[in-house]
Amino acid sequence: MVNNRNVKSEFELYAPMCLWLSTYLRDNYKGFEIITVDSHDERLDSVLSKYGIANDLATGIGIKIDVLGIVKKANVVKLFFVEAKKTSLNLHDLGQLLIYCRLIDPEEAFLMSSSDLGSLDKLLNTFKRDDLLNFGNGKKMKKMKVAIWNISAGTPEFSTMIPKM
Amino acid sequence: MNNEMAYLLGMICGNGEIGGRFDFPIISIEIPHKKIRTEDFHDIAIYVKASITDIRRILEPLIGTNLSFTQGEHSAILSFSKPHEDFLMREILRYTGHAVKHDNMRIHSDIFSFADDQKKMFLRGFCDVTGYIRRSNASFGEKYKHRVYVEIPKNWFMVIDICNLLKDLNIPVQTIDWAHPNIRDSNLTKYNQGQHNFWKKEHQIKIYANEFLPIGFGIIHKMQALQTYSEELMTGFKVKNKAVDKVTHRFYWEFNGRNSIKPHHPGENDISLPLQIRGKHYDSWKQIAEELGYGK
């Protein structure tokens, strides 16, 4: 058990996840402008337009990402999605983020729960079906990352992360 | 760098030994536990065994071989072996400066350039084998001020490196109990009783429990204790109507403490002390820390 106590509401996860994502992007995308935002109550197209980013695929289809990361340098823009859950993960959670990933093709995407991996544990750890995490255009290997969120540390619990980073 | 490798390096620097043949080194890591029961009377060996199962699951894919595990009464030992030419083994030897034991290792300069996540994993590995949290670790007789103790025998500069890595992560050290005569036998009490080498113990880095949460432990019973004691600490401050951060989140150079003047101790010239501090007198742990490289 990673967390001895869960959060009362999923909303409590957004700010610490935003903070972690910001650190993660700062460490891995040096020289880029970095933006992280709690975007759970706003449509993706609207958030992106605030930062001068147009994404036709995101327009008018009502995608909402809990925590969004953007890194920018000159004409290069990369997106990062974090989907937060306070309950055990299930296929529905996986499917939701996977569809967003296949549509928008972010650079990386994280599905994290402060509870446990739920039914995805068996699927990913026992049956080793990490092929279900694939997205992208095939030129670069991209996999969604699934993990338990460590509340007290304010980071993903890396020992639970699938696939390993 | 990846998280698993950072964790493994932390464990090796904390309590590892590199032995065996030159062409086929054996790396062993000791995970000590001082007591055989937790403070709520659970058998620690069972927790350690369960933790080892998790650790093996994490590390075995990285090292590409099985980890051996032996359980003793007060420690468990993990070990593995790989050819010297193996990439992983060469990387480990490079990061540990080809030292054969943790006593002589330093934290490689590259580790200070790791991403924060990997620095935390390095420290978690290190503290899984050197860190303790117990009820008796509370500060200044105030029972709720729980602290993590990181114990490092002999290796003065490893203490400094760990403190600097914590500083990179904005985690303050509350105090360091140096194995120095002015700190461990400051009034010559033991010296005058004939125990001239009483002060030659391990160094102890003390960190408030709540400040240590971003690192955490991979060993289950230590993590459970950390969570429990952090909550007690927070509650204690709340009850006393004190701001936690103002007490726990302070680096030593951020406040002016008065140092009591201590008498000279004949051990100040001891050959076991590093050259930089040998033959000098100190009235505070902070002066030693600053002299050796942990400061503003």
| Residue B216: closest C-alpha in chain A | A153
Q: How confident is the model at residue A62 (pLDDT cuts 50, 70, 90)?
A: confident
B189 min Cα distance to partner chain A (Å):
41
Residue-level pLDDT at B240? 87
Instruction: Among A125, A151, A155, pick the best mutation site for testing chain B contact (most B Cβ within 10 A).
Output: A155
CA atoms within 13 A on the CB side of A157: 24
Residue B172: count other Cβ atoms within 10 Å of its Cβ: 17
pLDDT digits (tens, 9 = 90+) for A150-160: 999 999 999 89
DSSP B271: T
ipTM of the complex: 0.76
Cα separation of B96 and B10, whole Å?
10
Instruction: Give strand pairing partners of B235.
Output: none
Residue A165 lies in a domain: no
Interface probe for A, chosen from B40, B116, B220, B233 (most Cβ of A below 10 Å), is B116
b/e per residue A99-128 (b: at least 16 CB within 10 A) = ebbeebbbbbbbbbbbbbbbebbebbeeee
Report helix, strand and coil shares of chain B as percent, to nearest 5: 45, 15, 40
Q: What is the CATH number of the domain that holds A138?
A: 3.40.1350
Establish if B51 touches chain A: CB-CB under 8 angstroms: no
Which of B120, B218, B226 comes nearest A155 by C-beta? B120
B220 touches B124 (CB < 8 A): no
In the predicted model, what is the mean pLDDT of residues B215-237?
A: 91
Nearest to A29 by CA among A100, A98, A80, A90: A80
Given this model, what pLDDT does residue B42 score? 66
Q: Which of B19, B233, B30, B6 is nearest to B128 (CA)?
A: B30
B168/chain A closest Cα distance in angstroms = 13
**Strand partners for B78:** B29, B69
Q: Cβ(B110)–Cβ(B122) under 8 Å?
A: no
Asked if the model's pLDDT at residue B268 lies above 90, the reply is yes
Residues of A within 8 A of B227 (CB-CB) are 4-5, 152
Which of A104, A106, A102 has the alpha carbon at shortest distance from A57? A104
Cα angle value B211/B216/B222 (rounded, 5°)? 110
Rg over CA atoms, chain B: 20
Q: Chain A residue closest to B224 (CA)? A: A4
Put simply, whether B2 touches A (Cβ < 8 Å) is yes
C-alpha span between A149 and B129 (Å, rounded): 24
- CA A114, CA A156: separation in Å to the nearest integer? 9
Neighbours of B136 (CB within 10 A): 10
pLDDT tens profile B10-19: 999 999 999 8
Instruction: Give A20's pLDDT tier (boundaries 50, 70, 90).
Output: very high
Name residues 7-66 of chain A within 8 A of B (Cβ): 23-24, 27-28
Tell me the three state secondary structure of residue B26: strand
pLDDT tens digits along B91-108: 999 999 888 899 889 999
Cα–Cα dist A71/B45, whole Å: 47
Per this entry, what is the length of chain A?
Answer: 165
Q: Where are the domains of chain B?
A: 1-115, 133-296
State residue B67's pLDDT score: 86
Please report the pLDDT score of residue B56 as a whole number. 84
Task: Report pLDDT for B40.
Answer: 62
The whole-number pLDDT of residue A141 equals 85
**Interior angle at CA B184, CA B294 and CA B234, nearest 5:** 65
A25: which 2 tokens?
Answer: 């992007």
Domain contains A54: yes
Query: Hunting for tokens 């009502």 — which residue is that?
Result: A62
Q: Is B54 on the interface with A (CB under 8 A)?
A: yes
pLDDT value, residue B38: 60
Residue B37 — very low, low, confident or very high, per pLDDT cuts 50/70/90?
low
B203 touches chain A (CB under 8 A): no
At residue B36 the predicted structure's pLDDT band, cuts being 50, 70 and 90, is low
- Tell me the per-residue pLDDT of A70-102, one tens digit each, with 9 for 90 and over: 999 988 999 999 999 999 999 999 999 999 999
Q: Which of A4, A27, A152 sits opposite B116 (nearest CB)?
A: A27
Quick one: pLDDT at residue B41?
Answer: 54
- DSSP 8-state secondary structure symbol assigned to residue A137: -
- Please answer whether residues B233 and A13 qualify as being in contact, where contact means their C-beta atoms are separated by less than 8 angstroms: no
Contacts of B86 (CB under 8 A, 6+ apart): none
Instruction: Record the tokens describing residue B50, joined without a space.
Output: 């369960």
The CB-side HSE value for B65 (13 A sphere, CA atoms) comes to 15
Mean pLDDT value across chain A: 93
State the Cα–Cα distance between residues A94 and A118, nearest whole angstrom. Answer: 11
Domain residues for the domain of A44 are 11-160
A133 in any annotated domain: yes
**pLDDT tens column, B159-176:** 999 999 999 999 999 999
Q: Tell me whether residue A31 is exposed, middle or buried, using C-beta atoms within 10 angstroms of its C-beta: 0 to 12, 13 to 18, 19 or more.
A: exposed
Average pLDDT, integer, range B239-257: 88
**Residues B81, B57: contact at Cβ < 8 Å?**
no
Token pair for residue B14? Answer: 């904390």
- C-alpha to C-alpha distance for A149 and A17, rounded to whole angstroms: 9
In a domain? residue A3: no
Answer yes or no: are the C-beta atoms of B199 and B186 closer than 8 Å.
no
For residue B239, how many other CB atoms are within 10 A of its CB? 9
Q: How many domains does chain A have?
A: 1
In this predicted structure, what is the pLDDT of residue B164? Answer: 97
Mark out the alpha helices in A71-156 (DSSP H runs): 91-104, 119-121
**Residue B164 contacts A, CB cutoff 8 Å:** no
Q: Which fold has domain B1-115?
A: Endonuclease I-creI (3.10.28)
In a domain, A42, yes or no: yes
B116/A23 CB distance under 8 A? yes
Residue A6 forms part of a structural domain: no
Q: Is residue A59 part of a domain?
A: yes
Q: Which of residues 106-125 of B touch A (CB under 8 A)?
A: 115-117, 120-121
Cα(B225)–Cα(A142) distance, integer angstroms: 38
In a domain? residue A90: yes
**Is A164 touching B (CB cutoff 8 A)?**
yes
Cα A63 from Cα A46, distance rounded (Å): 10
Count A/B contacts: CB-CB distance under 8 Å: 46
